[in-house]
Structures are given as C-alpha cells and as structure tokens.
Structure 1
Amino acid sequence: MSTLTERRTRQTARGTVTATTAHGRWPQARLAVHAVVLGGAAAVLVFWWAGTPASAGSTPGGALTSAGELAGLLAAYLVCLQLLLIGRVPFFERAVGMDRLVGWHRSLGTTVVLLVLTHVGLMIVGGGLLDHEALWPEALSLIARQPKLLSAVVGTGIFLVVGLSSARLARRVLSYEVWFVIHLSVYVAIFLTFGHQIAAGTHFVDAPVARAVWIGLYVATASALLTWRVLIPLVAGRQMMLRVEQVVPEGAGMVSVWLRGSGLERLEARGGQFVLVRFLTMGHLWTAHPYSLSMIPTSDRLRVTVAALGDHSAATARLRPGTRVLVEGPFGRFTAEQAWSARTLLVAGGAGIGPIRSLAEDLVRRGHDVVVVHRAHTSEGLALSRELSGSLSLRYVALPGRRADLGYDPLDPHNLLRLVPDIADRDVFVCGPEGLISTVVRSVRALGVPRSAIHHEELSLS
C-alpha cells in the first residue's frame, strides 16, 4: 500500500485563503436551506388560512377540526421534506452535510408522527363535537362516510411503526438491515395517506388549482428521489464499472476493501468523505452502507476501510474479488476545506482511522502541519498505522492500551497538551466512537480550542 504523499512545505499562518473562502460559502448555503424549509412551512400555513372559512372558528368543534386540518397539511409537507433531506440532493448535502441532514430527518420524523396523531385526534374530537357523537362512534362514522379514510388509517399505523423503529432504544436493538426494511414501508404509508388527502381534504375537494399544486409537490419529491437515489447511481455505476479487487485484513476485525474501476476522478472525492456502497452479491444487494474513504481515490482505484460492527460490515471480509459494486457519493463535509488553520490535529479511534487517514493525505498535499493521534485498545487495533507512521510529512502518535491498564486517560487535557503543545492554534478533527469524540471535544475545549475549530461527523444513516 502506498504511504501518504510526501511534501515538506509548511504553512504556519492561521487562516489560509482556501479555508476562509470555504467557510464563507457554507453559512450562506445553510441560510438558503433554512429559507426553503421555513418558506415551505409558511406557504402551507397561508394556504390553510386562505382556504379556511371564517365561520370555522365560531364553534369549538369547528376550531378543533380546522386545527386538525392544519396539522395534517404540515405533516404531509414535512414528509416530503424528510424524503428530500435524505434524497442525496446535492444542494442540500453540500450546504448542510449528510450527518446534519440525517439529524434533521430524525427530528422531523418525530414531528411528523406527533402531527399525524394530533391530526387524527383533533379530527375525531372536533367531528364529535359538531355531530354530537361520542369519540368511538364518531371515528367509525368518519371511516364509513369519507373515501379512502380506511387506507389512511393503515398508512398512519405504518408511520407510527416507522417512528418507533427510529427511537434510540430501537436503533440499538434492530440491525441496520431490519431498520432499512421497516423504513422502506414509509413509501407505502405515503401512498395510502395521499389518496385520502386529495379525495377528502377540505382544502382540495373543490379547489382544482390547489389539488394540482399539492400533487406537484409529491411528484417533484418523487422525481428528485428517483433521479438522485436511483438513476444517477445506476448511470455512474455503469460508467465506473467498479469491482472488488481485493480485501485486505487490517487487524482487530477491520478490513480494507479495494475497488477497481475507471473514471473515478469524476467522483471529485476529498479526504474525510464517505460513500454509500452496495455490493451486488447475496447478503449485500438490498442495502447500501456508508463507508469512509481511507485514501483519496485515483483514476482507477478506491478504498474503504471497514470495521466489523454489524452483520453487513462483518460480511465484507468474505467478499470475493470481481464482485460488482455500486457507489453513491461522495458525501460529507469532514474535509480539509473546514480547516481555518494551516496546523491541524487529527484524532482517530476504531473505524475512524479510515476517514482520518484520507483526510491526513489531503491536508499533507495542501501543505498543512499535521499531527495524527491514533487511539486503540491494543497495538493490533492500530489499523493503517504503517501508512501513517511511514510518512515524513506528518507526526504520527500511537496511543494503544485501555485506560484501566494504563492508569490514566491519554486523551485528557493534560496528556493532549503534552503531546501537542500548540493545540490551541490548531484545527481539531476527530472521528471514532461516540465516547472518544465526547472526550476529545471536552479536552480540546478545556485547552482553548474554539468550537469553530473542532470538526466531527456521524456516518450512521439510521
């Protein structure tokens, strides 16, 4: 395997032109994303207000029913927004970053479930007050007299199951594959509830223009998903013709998967980014998993380094050479462009060494002064250490050993300052288990590193 590109030139001035330009661009893009999200919600609110008669608020039943309609409209809009956020749409991903989009997606999922339950509850209670019926008879009456309401009830049930599967406890218990299959059912839920919106929604029944706009929202969302999640990956896969070249054990349950293809420079991948990888073989075919690039791709080779953290990642060690591969991406903003300083500290643990290694390669190419701190429970767990320790262009510090055996924490403020005396003047990139990230962030903050100079990214899509 190749070692990092050698380059002795050093820059010591804080805040290079490249870093400043990149940082100046992202806040504007994030503001644009927020404007799109909030503007859409405001448009839904105006649409509801304009289509609700003034008499609706004259009675408690009418007021509750109207509020229920608003909850339903907002839930439907947020479902489309949720899908777009994880639809691999370049505008969103480049402006915000995939990890943050996934976080927004999770938060919106909780909001959608609460809005759907609010919609159902208010429609039943409000309808019961208007019809002078008890809640259960009113619910049965609504199902009997409204078209497609029964299918909407089934769709609502699916939404609840999907929402529960996303709870923190459920994500710890469910495998990624089971979680993925459950989440696929959300498309069935959307189909079942959409018919009810158009057929029975007060704001759509006698409003062909409003109905056309609402259908257009769903068609545009479906088109974006089809384009960026299906068509473009298939076209790119056909062009690159990626296949597994070899699988190399790296120690401690980690393997590097080398892929060979053509035209990989079209990916424009940067160190620290990740790709969604789908191996076209049994046991891997139905799901794409996020794996970090552990080297900057060449025109014909790409490498990801994978830790055996689940069924899918463990099975990568058994992949056969020649297996076809589809790759989406690259994604992520855990890149050299985020660095304000020409001096950087990179901290890796576990599978985090993959993105740290490729990021180090990119930073060295740019002339940064790079220190890599590599934490592992044992010396055998220091994957890719030969590539990093063999480079003259950076300083590599290996920290093997469990805290209980060492008698101290190598990543506490005192020890980090001893290892990197000028740490307060460096950008800090950290990747690894959640506990390691939390420890490093606390330590470097205590040592005076500003929040804007601390960078970490979550790869999980569940």
Structure 2
Amino acid sequence: MTALPRPRVVDSRRAPGAAPVPGWWRESSGLALWALLVWVTSLWVLHGGLHDLTGLADGLTSLGRLTGLLASALLLVQVLLMARLPWVEQAWGQDRLARTHRLVGFASFTLMLGHIVLIVLGYAASSDLGLWGTVWDLVVSYPGMLLAVAGTAALVMVVVTSVKRARARLRYESWHLIHLYGYLGAGLALPHQLWTGRDFTASPVSTWFWWTLYAVAAGSVLVFRVGVPLVRSLRSPLRVAEVRHDAHDVTTVTVTGPGVARLRARGGQFFQWRFLDGPGWTRAHPYSLSAAPDGTSLRFTAAHVGDGTRRLATLRPGTRVLLEGPYGRLHEGVRTRRKVLLMGAGIGITPMRALLEELDAAPGDVTVVQRVRDRGAAVLGDEISALAAAKGARHVVVAGPRIPGRPTWLPAQASHLTDADALRDLVPDVAEHDVYLCGSPAWMEAARAAAVEAGVPDEHVHLERFSY
C-alpha cells in the first residue's frame, strides 16, 4: 500500500496545488477548427465554387466539391482529435475529445455521402451515360477511385459499428479492432482528391495546404500514439511489481521502473495499459490511477468487467508493461476552488482515492462521497478512510441498491429526497466546491445534474467518461 501522506496546510483564500491547465489552450484549439473550415470554404470560393452554381450539372458538381472538401477536413480533424496531442488532450481531456470525435465523425460521414451523391448526379446530368453508367465510368476511369471505393466501404463499416445500438452488441475488443479500420479508410479515400481534385490542384497554395494537413495528421498519429510510447517503453522499461486481489472481481496492480518519474502523471489521470503477457497484449485498456504517483511506482485498481480486466488477476510480477499517457483532466490542475467534493460510484472511486491523496488541502476542505451497493463492496474503503483521517477530510459511504425507475445517484432508502436536496444535506455549502465525479455514465449524469441544481456552476464539475 502507498504510504499515507501527512496533511498539508495551505492558504485558505485560494485553491493551491498543481499548476492549472491554461484556459487559452482550449479556446485556441476550438478557434483553429473553425478557422480550418472557413479556410477550406474560402479555397472553394476562390476556385470558382460560387460561379459554378449557375447551371444544374455544374451546380451539383460544385456543391459536391464543397461537401467533399469539408468532409476531408473533418476526417483529418477526427484523426487529430484522437492522435493524443499533449496540448489538445490537456485542454479538453479524452472524455470531451472522444465525444467531439464521435460528433465530427458523423458530420464528416454525412458530408462524404453528400459528396458522392452530388458528384454522381452532377456528372450524370452532363453525360449521356445515364446514372449507373456514370457511376461505372467514375469508378474505373478516374485515378484513385477504386481506392476511394474501398476506403468508403471501410468508413461505412466503422460508422455503422459506432452507432450506440450496434456498439452495445459488440465486445469492446472487437469494436476497437473494427474502429482501427478508420485509419485505413481515410488513407484510401483521400488520395483521389489529391491526384484529381480541382480544389487540390488549382494552385500551389491549395496543394501545399492539403498535403501539409495530411502530413500533420499522419505524423501526429505516428509520433504521439506510436513513437512516444514506444520510445518511453524502450528507454525506461516498466514492469509489474505487485498484483493484489482486493476481491473476487477487483484487482490492484502496481508498476515500477525507472521511467515512472518522467511520465509526470497526476492523481486522477489514466493511462492506456498493455501487458506483454501473451495473446491480446496489443489491445490497450484505460485504467485510472488509484494512488497518487510517488515518482517510483504507478498503481491502478480495476473491476473485472471484460476479458481485459479479468486477465489482470493472472498477471505475474516482472511482466513488461507498455503505457500511453497520462491522459484526462480529472486532476488537481483543473481545480479552481479551495473546497473540493470527490464523488465516486463503484470502481469509479479509484481516481477519487488518488486525487484525495494528492490534493493540497487544509482540514475540512475535502469531502469524499463513496456510492456503493453495500458497505462490504466499498472498493479501497479502508484506504480512503485512513487517508481522509490523515488529511482532515470527510469520507461518507452512501450504500444501498439504486432507486428503480429513476435516474439518480441515490440509493433506494433516500427516495424521499431529490438528488440536489440529498447532496445539500451531505455538503451544505456544495455550491462553493469544485466537484469531481467518476462512475457509470448514467450515475455521473445524475450526480452532475444534482450538483448543478444545488448551485455548482457547470464549469466547476469535472468528470471523465470511458464510454461514448
């Protein structure tokens, strides 16, 4: 077990601790997205896009060019959103980036379908080949179109399996493998525009812009998703030091190695973990730290909810570990207030435990609310109680089965209370707190809504979702 820290006394007039994440990182990255779309549209206008809208055939083709350009730009934005660029990830967090990635993905896919339909109709309107003859001619006669068809098929597969109902039927490992075909689809679908697209070849500025954008997207993935983690793992190998069975379905893993200090992780963040213990090691799994990093070791605690988590119980000390991260904004760097409320449900309490250990706070500043089905299932409950006592924090265990038929963070015995009233009963001055949440998506949404209704501004509620 990680040694318990002594409580630290701080200036009560401010929220101390880790250096905050600069707010302008978020604003500048959002502005860059809109600037990209405006620039792409401007290139279309400069290359005669508006002028070509006069006739039916030219108008359809011109609109097809615009939708294709915007689809291409958003497809590359998708890649950049999940390339794990450090500045973008720290500004938004993987939770927000993944949801934005999903939204941008469906927008890009819709524009791509519009591009295909408009281009085919535009060419067919100016040809005597007919609709299907035009489709055949475009596919077999134009450079890169066969690749584009294959790329489109791959992207369709990714989008279809990303619909929530379809994704719910797939194992995470299967969905993740299928999702990787998105990179293949992008790589196959885009080259035909570089070779023959009017807006790509009309001027040196356009050619330079698009090739640079593609190179940045591809380079970002290779550097930050492949290169950086690989170099770190080879330079400073990490290995499993301890595997602890906290319950029949809960395992705690501790990793050590000379590279831990260089990772600069914070309590509450998560890594993508790969354990070189046999088949399946290529699939990464996100696990949050359950103890504050001490410079020599990293620790996480996971419930057995799938093949990847069940394998944790069979890990042996000495197993090599590959890491990507740290990721996420569930850390002290986003804190803006002196008082903090940490709320975790089930296994979601683990990053709260790490945050509690790391938070710079005076006695009375921190409250931990641990939601469990029964007290015997309180993951890391003894550790949290000991930490809370050492730091002068409150640790409240809210136990009991959930209220049936009601979206709530409360147990059934509190059904006579509203979610917000119950929160105010536990923490009367909750409106003056930063609130950190982790648990199932439905539970977090209910807890977030309760905190906002109780007077906590939405920007002071911090949470991390692992399903989108």
- Counterpart CA distance in 1 for 2:202 and 2:457 is 57
Instruction: Tell me if structure 2 keeps the 8 A contact 1:430–1:440.
Output: yes
Match of 1:194 among 185, 190, 195: 190
Q: By how many angstroms is 1:197 displaced?
A: 1.3
Q: Within the alignment, does 1:2 sit opposite 2:2 as a pair?
A: yes
Q: By how many angstroms is 1:388 displaced?
A: 1.0
Q: Within the alignment, does 1:99 sit opposite 2:95 as a pair?
A: yes
- Counterpart CA distance in 1 for 2:310 and 2:370 is 22
Q: 1:355 to 1:260 in 2, by over 3 A?
A: same
- Counterpart CA distance in 2 for 1:411 and 1:386 is 29
Instruction: Tell me if structure 2 keeps the 8 A contact 1:128–1:138.
Output: yes
CA deviation vs aligned residue, 1:130-152 (integer Å, no higher than 9, x gap) = 11453222211222321221221
2:116 is matched with which residue? 120
1:50 is matched with which residue? 46
CA deviation vs aligned residue, 1:153-182 (integer Å, no higher than 9, x gap) = 121111111111111112212122111211
Instruction: Tell me if structure 2 keeps the 8 A contact 1:124–1:138.
Output: yes
- Counterpart CA distance in 2 for 1:329 and 1:301 is 15
Q: 1:354 to 1:17 in 2, by over 3 A?
A: closer
For CA contacts below 8 A with separation 6 or more, give which structure has more relative contact order: 1
Q: Within the alignment, does 1:22 sit opposite 2:17 as a pair?
A: no
Q: By how many angstroms is 1:432 displaced?
A: 0.5
SS in 2 for 1:421: coil
Letter in 2 for 1:323: T
2:452 is matched with which residue? 445
Q: By how many angstroms is 1:382 displaced?
A: 0.6
- Counterpart CA distance in 2 for 1:165 and 1:147 is 29
SS in 1 for 2:117: helix
Task: Report how many aligned residue pairs link the two structures.
Answer: 457
Letter in 2 for 1:253: D
Instruction: Tell me if structure 2 keeps the 8 A contact 1:374–1:399.
Output: yes
Comparing 148-157 with 51-60, greater Cα deviation is found at 51-60
Identity %: 35
1:371 is matched with which residue? 367
- Counterpart CA distance in 2 for 1:414 and 1:295 is 31
Q: 1:253 to 1:136 in 2, by over 3 A?
A: same
Comparing 304-313 with 191-200, greater Cα deviation is found at 191-200
Alignment of 1:42-441 (within 5 A): 42-52=38-48, 56-205=52-201, 207=203, 210-251=206-247, 253-364=249-360, 369-391=365-387, 392=389, 393=391, 394-403=393-402, 406-409=412-415, 412-441=419-448
Instruction: Tell me if structure 2 keeps the 8 A contact 1:244–1:258.
Output: yes
Q: By how many angstroms is 1:408 displaced?
A: 2.5
Q: 1:262 to 1:366 in 2, by over 3 A?
A: farther
Instruction: Tell me if structure 2 keeps the 8 A contact 1:342–1:367.
Output: no
Q: By how many angstroms is 1:207 displaced?
A: 4.5
SS in 2 for 1:203: helix
Q: CA RMSD in A?
A: 2.3
- Give 4+ residue runs of structure 1 displaced > 6 Å after superposition: none
Letter in 1 for 2:210: W
CA deviation vs aligned residue, 1:356-398 (integer Å, no higher than 9, x gap) = 1011111146777111111111223211111111132121111
Q: 1:249 to 1:380 in 2, by over 3 A?
A: farther
Q: 1:366 to 1:315 in 2, by over 3 A?
A: farther
Instruction: Tell me if structure 2 keeps the 8 A contact 1:242–1:260.
Output: yes
SS in 2 for 1:147: coil
- Counterpart CA distance in 1 for 2:57 and 2:281 is 51
Instruction: Tell me if structure 1 keeps the 8 A contact 2:16–2:338.
Output: no
TM-score (norm 1): 0.92
TM-score (norm 2): 0.91
SS in 2 for 1:255: strand
Gaps of 5+ in 1: none
Letter in 2 for 1:238: L
